[in-house]
Copies of this chain bind each other. A is one copy, B any other.
C-alpha cells in the first residue's frame, strides 16, 4: 500500500487496482515545478502570518528549493506508486527536512493547491503559445518579403479564382494567427486570481494571508469565491478551445502546403530535412510533418471534447472527475507547441517554384471578373455584365479558345458595351495592381501589410518579454 496524505479514518487499505486507477502522478508530474513554487509561497506565508514558526517556514522553503533544483536537474524521482505529485513532493520533503514537512499542508487542501498549479501552468503554456505563434508569423512574414512578386492563383472551392501575390496568401495566415494569439492573451484575464486559500471549498479557519501568496505567485489577488476557486475549470476549457481553433488554422496552412507539394500543383518543394521516405518505395519524399500537423488538429478537438464532456453536469464543488483535466491540457499544450515549431521549420525549409505558380496564374479565365467589371465601368449593371461574360466563357470552353483571343467584335456578340478586345482588358499585372483596396493584393497594399505585421509581431514579442521578466521576479 502506498503512503498517502490521508487515511486516519480508514480501517482497510485501498485496493491496488483502485490505487492505480485513481493515481495521477503519471501525468500531473508535468505540474511539479508549479506545485513546488506554490508550496514555497504557501510556506513563506505560513511563517510570515505566524501560523507556523519562522524557523519551520525557513526549513520548508529550503527543502522545497532543493526539490525545485532536483526537478530542474531531472533527478527528482516520481514514484508511480504514489497517488499524485503533491504526495511525491511532500514525502520527499519529509526526507529532506524531517517531521516539519507535516506543517506544510496547514490551511490548504489539494483542491485549492491543484487549482493554483493549473492556473500557473495555463499562464505558462498560454505564454508559450503566443511565443510559438509569434515565431510562425515571423517566418511567414520573412518568406512573404521574398515573394511579393510571386503570383499564383487564389482559390475558392479549390478552383482557380483570381490571381494573388504569394505574400498576400501567406499574410492571410499572419492575420488568423494574430487572432489566435489574442485569444491566448485574453485567457489571462480569466486566470488573474489565485485559488490558494479556498481550502477544500470553504476557505480556512486559520489566519492565512491569501493576498500574500497571490502576490508571491504573480496573481492580481485571491479568487473572489472559495467554491468557484476549487470547482471551476472554465479557464482550462478556454485554453483547450483556443488551442483547437489555432490548430484548425494551422491545419489549413498544412493542407495548402500538402497540396502545393504534390506533383500536380508543384508549387513548392521541401528540403529533405523536413520530409520522410517510404520503407517500400525508394522514390518517395513525403510531407509527413504537414500531414501530422493537419491530423493533430483532430487531436486538439478531441482533447477539448474530453474536458467539456467531463465537466458537463457536475454539481459543485470539486469532484474527482476534474482530475481528468490534466492530460488533455498537457497534451494540447505540447501538440500546439510542437506543431508551431515544425511548421515554422517547414516554412523556412520550402522552396517556391515561382514559374509553376505564375504559369497557373496566367490562366486567362482567372480574369473573367475583370472583364465583367470593365463592363460595369461602362455603366452596365453587374448582373448583366456577369451574365454576358459567363456566356463568353462558355463559348471559349466549347470552342477551346483562349479568352484573350476574343476581339472587340467577338466580345460584342455577348454585350455591345465592351470597350475593347479581351487582350487589352485582361492583363495579369494590371489586374493585380487594380486590386488596390485596403486588404487587397496590389503591391503597395501587400508591402504595407508586411510592415504592419512586422511591427505587430515585434510589439507582441516585447510584451511577452515584459511578461516573462515580471513572472520571473514574482516567483523568486
Contacts and interface: CB of A to CB of B under 8 A. Distances in A.
Interface residues of A, number: 205
A368 B283 contact: yes
Tell me how many chains of this kind the complex includes: 4
Interface string A343-360: 001000100000000001
A310 to B, nearest CB: 4
A318 B12 contact: no
Given A110-B280, A176-B234, A298-B324, A441 B226 contact: yes
A439 B282 contact: no
Interface in A402-446: 403, 431, 434-442
Given A161-B202, A237-B245, A277 B22 contact: no
Contact of A301 (B6, B159, B280, B306): B306
A424 to B, nearest CB: 14
Contacts of A103: 381-383
A86 B171 CA distance: 29
A271 B309 CA distance: 29
A48 interface: no
The residue among A22, A162, A171 with the most chain B CB atoms within 10 A of its own CB is A162
28 contacts: A4-B276, A6-B282, A7-B277, A9-B391, A9-B397, A10-B277, A10-B390, A14-B275, A17-B345, A21-B289, A102-B381, A159-B284, A161-B278, A162-B200, A172-B232, A175-B225, A182-B190, A200-B278, A200-B369, A202-B440, A226-B439, A232-B249, A234-B248, A251-B312, A282-B369, A294-B321, A295-B310, A296-B324
Given A161-B201, A203-B437, 18 more contacts: A6-B278, A14-B272, A105-B383, A107-B373, A111-B156, A153-B263, A157-B258, A176-B228, A176-B234, A179-B232, A182-B189, A197-B438, A203-B442, A205-B434, A238-B245, A241-B304, A244-B308, A288-B320
